[in-house]
Chains A and B, each alone.
Chain A
Amino acid sequence: MSAVLKVSGMSHWFGGLKAVSNFDFEVPEGAIYGLIGPNGSGKTTTFNLITGIYKPTEGKIEFSGGDITGAKPYRIVRKGVARTFQNLRIFGSMSVLDNVRVARQYKPVSTLLASTLRLPSFKAEERQRKAEALRLLDVLHLADRAKEQAKNLPYGELRRLEIARALATEPKLLLLDEPAAGMNPKEVQDLMALIARVRDEFKVTVFLIEHHMKFVMGLCERIKVLDFGETIAEGKPEAVAKDPRVLEAYLGKKGGH
């Protein structure tokens, strides 16, 4: 099974603080893997490093066999890596449809000139892009919201919108940063089913960060646990859940103080 994502020996310092330490991980094609750990353990930083927001101080990141270490974020996205954010980063004043449309923009796009003169090639492209975006919204149950301003959407739908937008870039690897944050149990269930469906229908590999234990245990095939930037456990969900180091990281030292 080929690895879609391969991270080797990645470490990152912010000044004197070691945020991520010796991160080694492989995610095979079609898998759903998870990254968990207490707050501040370096999970989002890991995502930021993979997507090129920071250039890692040490280590190598490979995507589908190619080296993407420290490349510019927009280039990494165009290669096929997409992500959502812990704190929603929606384009608030744009419509739901436009939020998704924008993510398809770099596919063969008319030059500035063709857009200005509104040549037929430009118009044809706009039509196609719009149809594709609507189809995507449909899968994520947001089609009826297409014309609404994004900032008016309720929280749960905004999270779905971010996923729709990420999918619009036609990724091979989807990084989800706390997709279930702030959701009630029913929404969490639906999201789990949605992500599994997305993985099957869109043929993406999923790597996600979450705090919601049921979500992670129920959905992920393999989990990596971080604490203070270090990997303290890795393996199948059941094994990780019982690992004493993991329990200690989350609950603190038990027994004598």
Chain B
Amino acid sequence: MKIPRTPWLLVVAAGFWAVVQLLRLVGFNDYYLFIANLSLVYVILAVSLNLINGIIGQFSLGHMGFAAVGAYVSGSITTLIYKLSPNVAAHYPGFVLALVAGGVAAALVGVAIGFPTLRLKGDYLAIVTLGFGEIIRTIFNNIDAVGGPRGLLGIPKFSTFTVILAFALITVAVIRNIAESAHGRNMIAIRENELAADLVGIDTTGYKVKVFALGAFFAGVGGGLYAHLLQIAHPTQFGFIYSVQVLIMVYAGGVGSLTGSVLAAFALTILTQVLKSFLSWLKAVTDLPIGGDWYMVVYALLLILIMLYRTEGLMGTREAKLMVIPEEDEK
């Protein structure tokens, strides 16, 4: 009888869930729970960006634009239905649908942008995606129906730890499964040498657009979860600098390594919170005008140092054993 392979990803996720719930029972501070939630949202954002930048090698700098679409679309839907009936628990199915709707909207935007621009190379693609990210943000900034410059307020707090963890698990599993398949190999081939990939019969443009859409979908879901965690969707949350922040996570973990993105998302989210707390403590203790922006200086230095001294980040393109699906004959 064939013993089924252990679904490690599920085991780790379930274990994490159990640990956190246990800690909550013994008085786990809500702040720590928030950090766990935020880390998981960044896992979704980083892994989906790594699919685009790392696996298929297209340099996209507008990822938060997709997150914005997801945030606003899902936020608009839930604020509407919440008005009709404030029973939170009854809304979970609706919440999930709203998130998916946000993701689909983001994916459509991804296709619309990707189709004409994915034939541009490296530098130019970076600038165009940056530009589109900003355009999306500017558009939301100017739509009064969703709050304009004040942002979309009063989004119900539907993002619980369980829901966010579930979506993070799904995101990682789906992207991992795709990466470790014939499709994933095609994507890596496109990354390694696009012309050669063309010349072995791979429809490179088709793949680039589809991957862009898929990455955008998950970014949209991540954006939606984020908005329902903070209860607001505001244009400033989705600016270029935040796309760069996710980019730094991807590079720190290793561009092309999904494991790396997961680890880096956690590490950097925690690091950011630690830094912010330290800075406010320092300010309170010394009474000096210490700005909160120093943590961004740290991020910037991290990126520069990675580029200068360790481009492959933490994991390079390798994956942890539990992430890899072994080949058929290696079980």
A interface residues (Cβ-Cβ under 8 A, vs B): 51, 53, 72-74, 77-78, 82-83, 85, 89-94, 98, 101-103, 105-106, 109-110, 112, 115-118, 122-123, 125-127, 129-130, 165-166, 168-169
Contacts and interface: CB of A to CB of B under 8 A. Distances in A.
A168 B201 CA distance: 10
B167 to A, nearest CB: 15
Given A101-B185, A115-B183, A93 B202 contact: no
Contacts of B325: 118
Contacts of A98: 185, 188
A123 B201 CA distance: 22
25 contacts: A51-B199, A53-B195, A72-B198, A74-B201, A74-B204, A77-B199, A77-B201, A85-B199, A89-B199, A91-B189, A91-B197, A94-B185, A98-B188, A102-B197, A103-B200, A103-B201, A105-B186, A109-B182, A112-B183, A112-B210, A115-B181, A116-B178, A116-B181, A126-B327, A165-B200
B22 to A, nearest CB: 32
A46 to B, nearest CB: 15
A91 B178 contact: no
B123 interface: no
Given A90-B193, A102-B189, A118-B177, A126 B182 contact: yes
Interface in B189-245: 189, 192-193, 195-204, 210
**Chain A to chain B: the 3 pairs with minimum beta-carbon distance, closest first:** A89-B196, A91-B192, A115-B181
A98 B186 CA distance: 9
A83 to B, nearest CB: 6
Contacts of A115: 177-178, 181-183
Contacts of A123: 328
Contacts, number: 104
Contacts of B177: 115-118
Contacts of A110: 181-182
A102 B134 CA distance: 37
**Most B-side CB within 10 Å, residue of A82, A105, A117, A125:** A105
A51 B198 CA distance: 10
A92 B188 CA distance: 10
Given A83-B199, A91-B197, 19 more contacts: A74-B201, A74-B202, A77-B199, A77-B201, A82-B199, A89-B193, A89-B199, A90-B192, A90-B196, A94-B185, A94-B188, A94-B189, A105-B182, A109-B182, A109-B183, A112-B210, A115-B177, A116-B181, A130-B327
Contacts of B201: 74, 77-78, 103, 105-106, 169
Contacts of A93: 188, 192, 317
A90 B197 CA distance: 9
B221 to A, nearest CB: 15
Contacts of A90: 192-193, 196
A105 B202 contact: yes
Contacts of B193: 89-92
Interface of B: 174, 177-178, 181-183, 185-186, 188-189, 192-193, 195-204, 210, 317, 325, 327-329
A91 B196 CA distance: 8
B134 to A, nearest CB: 30
Contacts of B199: 51, 73-74, 77, 82-83, 85, 89
B99 to A, nearest CB: 18
A74 B188 CA distance: 16
A168 B178 contact: no
A168 B200 contact: yes
A115 B182 CA distance: 8
Nearest to B174: A116
Contact of B181 (A51, A106, A122): A122
Contacts of B183: 105, 109, 112, 115
A203 B174 CA distance: 41
B328 A92 contact: no
Contacts of B317: 93
Contacts of B210: 112
Contact of B192 (A77, A92, A103, A116): A92
A142 to B, nearest CB: 16
Nearest to A78: B201
Contacts of B204: 74
Given A91-B188, A92-B192, A102 B178 contact: no
A89 B195 contact: yes
Contacts of A94: 185, 188-189, 192
A85 B202 contact: no
Contacts of B202: 74, 102, 105-106
A130 B185 CA distance: 13
A125 B182 contact: yes
B185 A105 contact: yes
A103 B325 CA distance: 21
B328 A130 contact: yes
A149 to B, nearest CB: 10
Contacts of A109: 182-183
Contacts of B198: 53, 72-74, 77
Contacts of B186: 102, 105
